[in-house]
Amino acid sequence: MSKATRFAPPTEIRIDGQETSRSPAWAFRLAVAFASLLLVSALIVTTSRAAFTTTTDNTGNSFTAGSVALVDDDLGATRFTVTDMEPGETISRCIEVTYNGTVDPQVVRLYSGGFVDSGNFGDYLNVTIDEGTGGDFSTCVGFVEDDAGAEFANTLTFLDANHTNYGNGFGEWDPSAAGQFKTYQITVELDAATPNAEQNESVTALTFTWEVQS
């Protein structure tokens, strides 16, 4: 006599204090649904958190190089135009140099920008250069040198051979802000011992250069 097939008893779930019979398949579906609900809830929370954001900006930044600038008061005019110099004759002229840069620079240096010599005439031109205050391009009246001793005192030929750039230039003026200025007195003497062979010789296109660096 065969034995009767035995079925697993239905799952008992209590709801509101009452027992309700449910199959294992129904319980599985309920578990899946509950897990899905938790997953959706987690996604909603995560998405909500990602939606809250804020930024702040600091805009319009830029960088511009400062400048160093020198100007003089010659208004494009030549400082020396001397003819018929005689041995022993001395000529003095002044020029005012102004610093117009935006940064605190190094010392202003003066040097030769070159010249044309027709016959060694520069060997007999004695040049003295002083820094000071007072006087300007129109006159040296009122000029007072800053300290005893010239910034340069030698022949024009020596100036052009030894002082040709900022590195070997000379000067003590160290401006610190735009608008500051310095007067330079340049004195040129034709040496009293200039030989007759130098008659009618000349120096032309002579340039004095002031340079400043940051």
Q: Are 176 and 99 in contact (CB under 8 A)?
A: no
Contacts of 210 (CB under 8 A, 6+ apart): 70, 72, 97, 108, 109, 110, 171, 184
pLDDT band at 45 (very low <50, low <70, confident <90, very high): very low
Q: What pLDDT digit, counting tens, does each position of 84-103 carry?
A: 889 999 989 999 999 999 99
The pLDDT of residue 37: 54
Topology of the domain comprising 70-211 = Immunoglobulin-like (2.60.40)
Q: Are 152 and 60 in contact (CB under 8 A)?
A: no
Q: Are 101 and 177 in contact (CB under 8 A)?
A: no
The pLDDT of residue 98: 93
Q: Which amino acid is at 35?
A: A
Tell me how far CA of residue 213 lies from CA of 40, 161, 171, in angstroms.
Answer: 70, 22, 13
| Overall average pLDDT of the 54-60 stretch | 62
**Residue 192 in this model has a pLDDT that exceeds 70:** yes
Q: Which uninterrupted H or E stretch holds 192?
A: none
**Residue 167 in this model has a pLDDT that exceeds 70:** yes
Q: What pLDDT digit, counting tens, does each position of 17-30 carry?
A: 554 455 566 555 65
| Overall average pLDDT of the 120-142 stretch | 94
The rounded mean pLDDT for the chain is 79
